[in-house]
């Protein structure tokens, strides 16, 4: 089987795997909503173990695909260099090129015209995807004055960690920008996956100490996850039992939070 065929088949298999993982994650989220609170943690643990197999297979396929694409790119570059060298050897004294006066014009697609302020960086933390994309979409993605290739370069410059690794093998181009955005949204932007991540974070919140700083930190973390879930139309009354079951000490703080006044200074 030649390399191009392998690359094609790996791409198709990865697309199918992405779709299947999306379905499974959606079902996981629906199952969690139907389970008694006491069974949620065990179900999430089992789902995480099962899903890890699919994720490992996806990562292995992506790595193999990147390796094949890198090999192909290296061969193309080597062939181009050999062709240039052969042409130079066949014509050692080529005529001098005609120099045509040019006028330097700075176009709107020049990367120097991209936003000067520091846009947020995204490292693959799914809980931070929406905050990152909301800003990037407004400041870069929706701006028609930038070419897609320029957007790709700027997007890639704001990625790190797992998010940057996801785009390995993609060269900056107009077409690949669309591919890159689709890959990122499929991996990090699915509401069901974000909801599950918030739920896992809520179940693993450490119990606070009784000092004011610890209570404030706990409340801030709790409220941030609640706001994140509300942004995805997941209301507190749909998972309140989960919080009660998770940790009694946490609920004591939540009850206290419901009663505290802004004048408390906490």
Which of 7-11, 169-173, 228-232 is the least confident region? 7-11
Which of 40-54, 109-123, 251-265 is the least confident region? 251-265
User: How sure is the predictor about 107, in pLDDT bands with cuts at 50, 70 and 90?
Assistant: very low
pTM summary value: 0.50
Looking at residue 79, what is its pLDDT?
A: 74
Residue with tokens 């990625």: 159
Residue with tokens 């450490």: 206
Question: Which residues share a beta bridge with 159?
Answer: 122
Which of 102-106, 120-124, 128-132, 237-241 is the least confident region? 102-106
**Average pLDDT of the chain, as a whole number:** 75
Residue-range domain boundaries for the chain: 3-83, 112-190, 205-264
């Amino acid at each position: 089987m030649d390399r191009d065929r392998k690359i094609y088949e790996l791409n198709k298999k990865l697309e199918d795997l992405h779709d299947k993982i999306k379905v499974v994650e959606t079902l996981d989220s629906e199952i969690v909503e139907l389970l008694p609170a006491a069974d949620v943690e065990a179900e999430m643990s089992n789902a995480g173990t099962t899903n890890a197999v699919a994720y490992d297979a996806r990562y292995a396929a992506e790595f193999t695909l990147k390796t094949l694409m890198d090999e192909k790119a290296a061969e193309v570059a080597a062939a181009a260099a050999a062709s240039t060298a052969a042409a130079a050897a066949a014509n050692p004294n080529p005529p001098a090129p005609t120099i045509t006066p040019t006028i330097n014009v700075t176009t709107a697609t020049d990367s120097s015209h991209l936003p000067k302020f520091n846009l947020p960086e995204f490292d693959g933390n799914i809980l931070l995807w929406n905050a990152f994309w909301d800003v990037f979409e407004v400041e870069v993605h929706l701006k028609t004055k930038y070419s897609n290739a320029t957007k790709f370069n700027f997007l890639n410059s704001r990625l790190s960690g797992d998010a940057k690794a996801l785009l390995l093998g993609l060269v900056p181009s107009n077409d690949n920008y669309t591919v890159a955005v689709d890959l990122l949204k499929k991996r990090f932007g699915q509401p069901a996956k974000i909801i599950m991540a918030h739920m896992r974070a809520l179940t693993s919140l450490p119990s606070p100490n009784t000092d004011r700083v610890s209570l404030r930190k706990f409340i801030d973390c709790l409220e941030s996850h609640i706001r994140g879930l509300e942004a995805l139309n997941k209301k507190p009354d749909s998972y309140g039992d989960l919080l009660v079951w998770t940790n009694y000490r946490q609920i004591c703080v939540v009850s206290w939070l419901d009663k505290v006044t802004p004048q408390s200074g906490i």
